[in-house]
Chain A
Amino acid sequence: ETGVTQTPRHLVMGMTNKKSLKCEQHLGHNAMYWYKQSAKKPLELMFVYNFKEQTENNSVPSRFSPECPNSSHLFLHLHTLQPEDSALYLCASSQSGTAGEQYFGPGTRLTVT
């Protein structure tokens, strides 16, 4: 039990669809993150939110749109994705301003057809 949940766990979407990934953390953290894991590549940071404010966008295409309504919830809105966006998307949280570890959710396996 990591205290970070993600839904859905699996998602198949067409290139013209719009969908959203949801992440929730129950750990009282104030920093949240989106990562992408593609085959044979390292975990890649996409976005960082600190106290609901976006502090990092790692040159992510605009077809990925994050939203952080409060410190416990993080969304990733997806629209007009490409097949190469198929990957595992992981959410994580941590206590901001410390060197402490990040706590990860189980991920959403996304397939774009």
Chain B
Amino acid sequence: ILNVEQSPQSLHVQEGDSTNFTCSFPSSNFYALHWYRWETAKSPEALFVMTLNGDEKKKGRISATLNTKEGYSYLYIKGSQPEDSATYLCAFLWFTGGGNKLTFGTGTQLKVEL
């Protein structure tokens, strides 16, 4: 059984705070790690696809790092805004040769308050 763990489970921060979340996954047979953002009443949307150890990706105020040898990824949000409020999911990608198979963590629910 593959375990993808995310912490913390939820987080309340003030506008302007910077924050980070953790995703841990098995360090063997790594293929890729995805980060998704899921706003209430919307579809999950991909933030990053990370494939190489040491990868660092950035999109605006959000960035992510990857350590495949120790099996973790961090997601950072700089200067949080209310519109960043969402659930952030990481997912470990298995490549089965017949379509990709994602195993998701339970997510980190972020609430940014004014």
A interface residues, Cβ below 8 angstroms from B: 2, 4, 31, 33, 40-45, 48-50, 53, 55-56, 90, 94, 96-107
CB <8 Å contact, A50 and B99: yes
CB <8 Å contact, B98 and A53: yes
Q: Quick check: is B17 within 8 A (CB to CB) of the other chain?
A: no
Using Cβ atoms and an 8 Å threshold, which residues of chain A touch B107?
A: 42
Q: Quick check: is B13 within 8 A (CB to CB) of the other chain?
A: no
CA distance A82 to B19 in the complex (A): 41
In the complex, what residue of chain B is closest to A41 when comparing beta carbons?
B106
Using Cβ atoms and an 8 Å threshold, which residues of chain B touch A105?
A: 43
B interface residues, Cβ below 8 angstroms from A: 4, 31-32, 34, 36, 42-46, 49, 51, 89, 91, 93, 95-107
CB <8 Å contact, B51 and A99: yes
In the complex, what residue of chain B is closest to A93 when comparing beta carbons?
B99
CB <8 Å contact, B49 and A48: no
CB <8 Å contact, B96 and A102: no
In the complex, what residue of chain B is closest to A3 when comparing beta carbons?
B43
Using Cβ atoms and an 8 Å threshold, which residues of chain B touch A100?
A: 49, 100
CB <8 Å contact, A55 and B98: yes
In the complex, what residue of chain B is closest to A33 when comparing beta carbons?
B99
CB <8 Å contact, B100 and A31: yes
CB <8 Å contact, B104 and A43: yes
CB <8 Å contact, B99 and A55: yes
CB <8 Å contact, B43 and A101: no
In the complex, what residue of chain B is closest to A56 when comparing beta carbons?
B101
Choice from A4, A49, A99 contacting B99 with Cβ under 8 Å: A49
